[in-house]
Structure formats: C-alpha cells, structure tokens
C-alpha cells in the first residue's frame, strides 16, 4: 500500500486550531475530539436561554484579526461598552477596584489609600517573588487585603503567594496615585483595563464566531469526534481511531498534559517536568431567571470569602437575544472546585439576591452546574523551567504546542487566533518550499 502523504496535523479544533487551519498554506488535517468545533468558545442553548462556558467577551487589538472577524461576520457583532462592577462590603462599586474606591465604607477607603501611598513611597527593591508580593508592592496592604488577595485566591483556586505575577501585566490595571485618589473621591479615574469595550455576536452566543471563522477553513480535512490516541515520535505519526497518520509537523492545542500523556517515548527529564504542570479546574452554573435582571452590569467581581462565587455575569445584559424577552441568562463562577451540592445552590441563590443580580431565589427558573477540567494554568515556581524544557523538546520533534492549554498559559480568544496565525507562519517558514 502507498504510504499516506505527510501533512501538517492539527490536534484540537478550538480557536487556536481553527486559526491554524485558516492560515496554513500547505495541506493539513485537523482532529477534534468533540462533535463540533469551538473548544472553549461554544454556546449551550436551553428553552431560549443561551450560555457560553462562562462569559466569553471578545477583545480585539490586532488589525488583521479585527479584519478577519469583520469579514466573516459582517454586521453580526455588537460593540458593547463594558459595565463591570465589584461587590464588597455590601456595596457595588466600579471596576477596577484599585481605581474606584468611591462608595466603599470610609474606613476601607482610608486603609486602601494609606496603603497605596505607603507602597508608592517604598524604594524599589528586588522584583516581587510571587503575586502576593506584586500586589503589596503595587497596590499596598489595603487594596491587597480587600480585593487583590481574596479575589485572586477564589479565581485561581490557590493562594496568590504560590503563583508568580508573570501572567498579569496585560490583565491587571496599574493606576497611578493620581488615578487612585481621583477614584477614591468619586472623580473620573479614566476607563482602565484591556477590556473597556468588547465585541459579542448579536445572536447565538460566542459560538457564532466559530461558525463565522469556519467559513474560512479550506485546504484541509476536518475530522470531528476524533480524539488523538497517541503520538509516535520515532515514526512521526499520530494515531486516531486506530488510524496511523504520518505528520510533517503537529500543531498541538489540546491541553499540554494530555498531549504528553499520549507520547510513550518521552525522555525521563520531560516526564519529570510534565509531572510538575499544574492547572485548576472550575465549576460554574448556567442560571436562567423568570424576570429581567435586577442589575444592569455585564459582570461583577466578588472578592469576599463569605460568598460562594467570585464572578457573576449577565449575558442578556450585553446582548438581549441571549435570553427570552423579559428573562435573563447568567453565569456564576464558583470558588469551590468540588461537586455542587444543594446547599451550595441555595447559598448561591441567596448570594445572587444579596449582590442584586436577581430579585429573589424564587426568580431562578433553572440552574445547571458545569465543570471545566482545565481552566487556570497555575504559574508556580516550576512553571518556567517545565514549560521551557517541554516546548524545546516538542519543537525539536516538529510538534508545536499552542493556545491557552496547548501553550499552557493564561490568555484570551484573540491570543489564540493570533497563536494559530503565528504557528502557521512558523511552520511555513520551517518547512519552506519542500514538497508537502
Ligand atoms: C472561565 C473562562 C472564561 C474565559 N473568558 C474569556 C473571555 O471573556 N474573553 C476571551 O477572549 N477569552 C476568555 N477565555 C479564554 C478562552 O476561552 C481561550 O483563550 C480560548 O478559547 C482557548 O482556545 P484554544 O483553541 O487554545 O483551546 P480550546 O478551546 O480548549 O481548544 C482545544 C481543543 O482541543 C480538543 N481536544 C482535547 N483533547 C483532544 C484530543 N485528545 N484529540 C483531539 N482534540 C482534543 C478540545 O475538545 C478543544 O476543542 C476564558 C477562559 C476561561 C477558562
């Protein structure tokens, strides 16, 4: 039998894999484990209520990606001005906390302001060793105590002292003293953060983006319901449903530990590094209400430990078509990583009422629990050494790990579209004009 020609193999059909497929110029084949494309960027529908895998708001900065999205979804994206809030000490304040202390109890504002001033007066020392030190250095003790530490502990599922600050430069706004003071007295501190505006499909949730991008996929084959079983580095083959597929290069977007677990001929040091990769899971709830939401915000951050969630969003406040008229669809991201009990559900219902997300627990029409196994990669002390060694090894075998979980990082949808474009370019450059 003639040998199957070697192609570029794309593992995983989330946004990274889709973008690689769009941008590759040589033959490729994509294997996706699930029955549809999209990965994390898919949308569930029940009784007219739409839910993403928690809020998936699209923030674009790259002109090429903006153009791509505009071309595949002409007039189908809504541009929304962010309404993000914080709920703490019984009040709702503006985001980001560190630049909008106004409205908090006076003694909290005083503690936060004194902390910032003290932090700004410190002589610059050695770089912070972990995220807790980073917060204390930049925001001082008060803001760290009232927001940064408890919020991030709930989000990451680990204490901020056990992670580095490597992930946060683009995601955590750093106001100057003038902005902090302005925000504390109720003056305008300016709109801050990478997500002051976002795009979102007018219909169908974030999966509409995937469908639009799907119209650009060409020059290869997509196999759905086809999880990769193993990779054979020696023979340069992937095995899917018992079929051996020879590759020239692999774009690996499935979670890095899942990829490594499928390679039997790994050297011992890479196996050891693989054992040090850490990631936290996430449980969240899809919540449908009977009436319009009490709140007008798109999402709210909830740092206090007494409340069982760390972030709540109302899809239908951003785009009304996400819920039937007069009702609302919400996501509730839970601090607890374990199974969701009835007690948790009732605490959530009470909590949603107390933060003003819903008018009363009786307003909930249904609440469904979901789990994301790989949610937040943990940037601990092993992260750099482990990922550097693993990526170097894989790339020496023409395997290119990319995307949020393939590239083992913290990023957003646009970063994944960029990663797919970048890896397609790298592969074209590496393979050059050699015949496919
Ligand atoms: C809670 C949460 C909220 C977020 N909110 C936002 C937001 O508001 N805005 C934003 O821009 N980004 C957001 N993100 C980030 C965004 O979801 C990701 O950056 C992006 O969707 C990841 O795309 P990806 O293709 O790299 O990975 P994925 O979407 O995970 O795709 C990987 C694919 O690999 C497939 N796969 C797994 N195993 C196999 C196998 N054995 N064989 C074949 N295929 C396999 C999976 O089914 C999946 O389709 C959020 C992420 C989380 C966790």
pLDDT digits (tens, 9 = 90+) for 395-425: 999 999 999 999 999 999 999 999 999 999 9
Residue 268 within any structural domain of the chain = yes
Q: Does residue 436 surpass a pLDDT of 50?
A: no
Residue 241 within any structural domain of the chain = yes
Give dist(CA 128, CA 1) in Å, integer. 60
Domain count, the chain: 3
Residue 191 within any structural domain of the chain = no
Q: Does residue 435 surpass a pLDDT of 70?
A: no
Do 105 and 43 belong to one domain? Answer: no
213-256 pLDDT per residue, tens: 999 999 999 999 999 999 999 999 999 989 999 999 999 999 99
Q: Does residue 121 surpass a pLDDT of 70?
A: yes
Do 272 and 389 belong to one domain? Answer: yes
Average pLDDT, integer, range 91-119: 96
Q: Which protein residue's CA is at the shortest distance from atom 10 of ligand 1? A: 412
- What residues contact 318, with CB distance under 8 A and at least 6 apart? 57, 78, 80, 198, 200, 298
Give dist(CA 382, CA 92) in Å, integer. 38
Please report which helix (H) or strand (E) contains residue 168, including its range: none
- Which pair of structure tokens corresponds to residue 270? 């890479």
Residue 194 within any structural domain of the chain = no
- Confidence at residue 192, expressed as pLDDT on a 0 to 100 scale: 72
Do 174 and 115 belong to one domain? Answer: yes
Q: How confident is the model at residue 168 (pLDDT cuts 50, 70, 90)?
A: confident
**CATH code of residue 241:** 3.50.50.60
Q: Does residue 5 surpass a pLDDT of 90?
A: no
- Confidence at residue 2, expressed as pLDDT on a 0 to 100 scale: 56
Whether pTM > 0.75 for this model: the answer is: yes
340-379 pLDDT per residue, tens: 999 999 999 999 999 999 999 999 999 999 999 999 999 9
Do 384 and 269 belong to one domain? Answer: yes
Q: Does residue 52 surpass a pLDDT of 60?
A: yes
Q: Does residue 433 surpass a pLDDT of 60?
A: no
Do 220 and 357 belong to one domain? Answer: no
Query: Does the Cβ of 220 fall within 6 Å of ligand 1?
Result: no
Do 312 and 349 belong to one domain? Answer: yes
Compute, in angstroms, the gap from residue 10 CA to the centroid of ligand 1. Answer: 15
- Confidence at residue 194, expressed as pLDDT on a 0 to 100 scale: 65
Among 185, 213, 235, the domain boundary falls at 185
Specify the 3-state DSSP secondary structure of 305: coil
- Confidence at residue 414, expressed as pLDDT on a 0 to 100 scale: 98
Q: Which residues of 336-368 are buried (b: 16+ CB within 10 A; e: fewer)?
A: eeeebeeebbebbbebbbebbbbbeeebbbebe
Do 233 and 325 belong to one domain? Answer: no
Q: How confident is the model at residue 138 (pLDDT cuts 50, 70, 90)?
A: very high
Specify the 3-state DSSP secondary structure of 230: strand
**CATH code of residue 313:** 3.90.660.10
Residue 389 within any structural domain of the chain = yes
Query: Does the Cβ of 318 fall within 6 Å of ligand 1?
Result: no
- Which pair of structure tokens corresponds to residue 52? 């993403």
Among 352, 377, 402, the domain boundary falls at 377
What number does the ligand 1 atom closest to the CA of 37 have?
49
Residue 225 within any structural domain of the chain = yes
Do 366 and 317 belong to one domain? Answer: yes
Q: How confident is the model at residue 31 (pLDDT cuts 50, 70, 90)?
A: very high
Q: How confident is the model at residue 193 (pLDDT cuts 50, 70, 90)?
A: low
16-27 pLDDT per residue, tens: 999 999 999 999
> Given ligand 1 and candidates 243, 253, 335, which is best to mutate, with the most ligand atoms within 8 Å of its CB?
253
Do 284 and 352 belong to one domain? Answer: yes
Do 259 and 399 belong to one domain? Answer: yes
Residue 32 within any structural domain of the chain = yes
Among 185, 212, 234, the domain boundary falls at 185
Do 284 and 369 belong to one domain? Answer: yes
Residue 340 within any structural domain of the chain = yes
Q: How confident is the model at residue 268 (pLDDT cuts 50, 70, 90)?
A: very high
**CATH code of residue 172:** 1.10.3110
Q: Which domain holds residue 321?
A: 279-377
Compute, in angstroms, the gap from residue 413 CA to the centroid of ligand 1. Answer: 8
Average pLDDT, integer, range 69-74: 96
- For 388, phi and psi rounded to 5 degrees? -60, -50
Compute, in angstroms, the gap from residue 14 CA to the centroid of ligand 1. Answer: 6
Do 407 and 264 belong to one domain? Answer: yes
Helix, strand, coil percent values for the chain (each to nearest 5):
35, 25, 40
């Amino acid at each position: 039998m003639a040998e199957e020609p070697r192609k570029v193999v794309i593992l995983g059909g989330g946004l990274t894999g889709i973008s690689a497929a769009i941008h590759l110029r040589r033959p490729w084949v994509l294997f996706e484990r699930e029955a549809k494309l999209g990965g994390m960027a898919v949308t569930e529908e029940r009784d007219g209520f739409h839910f993403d895998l928690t809020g998936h708001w699209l923030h674009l900065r790259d002109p090429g990606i903006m153009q791509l999205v505009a071309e595949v979804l002409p007039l189908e994206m809504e541009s929304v001005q962010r309404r993000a809030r914080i709920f703490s000490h019984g009040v709702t304040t503006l985001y980001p906390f560190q630049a909008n202390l106004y409205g908090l109890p006076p003694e909290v504002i005083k503690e936060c302001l004194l902390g910032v001033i003290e932090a700004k007066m410190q002589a610059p020392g050695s770089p912070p060793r972990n995220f807790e030190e980073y917060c204390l250095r930049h925001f001082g003790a008060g803001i760290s105590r009232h927001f940064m530490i408890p919020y991030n502990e709930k989000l990451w599922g680990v204490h901020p002292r056990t992670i580095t600050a490597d992930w946060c430069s683009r995601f955590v706004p750093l106001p100057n003293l003038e902005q902090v003071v302005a925000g504390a007295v109720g003056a305008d501190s300016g709109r801050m953060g990478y997500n002051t505006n976002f795009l979102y499909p007018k219909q169908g949730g974030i999966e509409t983006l995937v469908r639009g991008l799907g119209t650009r996929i060409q020059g290869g084959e997509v196999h759905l319901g086809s999880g990769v079983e193993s990779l054979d580095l020696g023979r340069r083959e992937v095995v899917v449903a018992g079929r051996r597929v020879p590759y020239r290069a692999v774009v690996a977007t499935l979670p890095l530990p899942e990829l490594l677990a499928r390679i039997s001929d790994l050297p011992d040091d890479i196996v050891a590094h693989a054992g040090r990769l850490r990631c936290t899971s996430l449980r969240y709830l899809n919540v449908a209400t009977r009436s319009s939401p009490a709140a007008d915000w798109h999402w709210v951050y909830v740092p206090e430990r007494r409340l069982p969630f760390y972030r709540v969003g109302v899809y239908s406040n951003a785009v009304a078509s996400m819920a039937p008229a007069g009702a609302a669809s919400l996501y509730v991201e839970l601090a607890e990583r374990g199974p969701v009990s009835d007690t948790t559900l009732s605490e959530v219902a009470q909590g949603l009422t107390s933060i003003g997300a819903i008018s009363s627990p009786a307003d909930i029409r249904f609440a469904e629990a979901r789990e994301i196994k790989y949610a937040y990669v943990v940037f601990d002390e092993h992260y750099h050494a482990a990922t550097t060694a693993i990526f170097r090894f894989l790339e020496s075998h023409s395997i290119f790990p990319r995307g949020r979980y393939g590239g083992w990082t913290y990023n957003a949808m646009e970063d994944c579209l960029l990663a797919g474009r970048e890896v397609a370019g790298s592969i074209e450059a590496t393979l050059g004009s050699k015949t496919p």
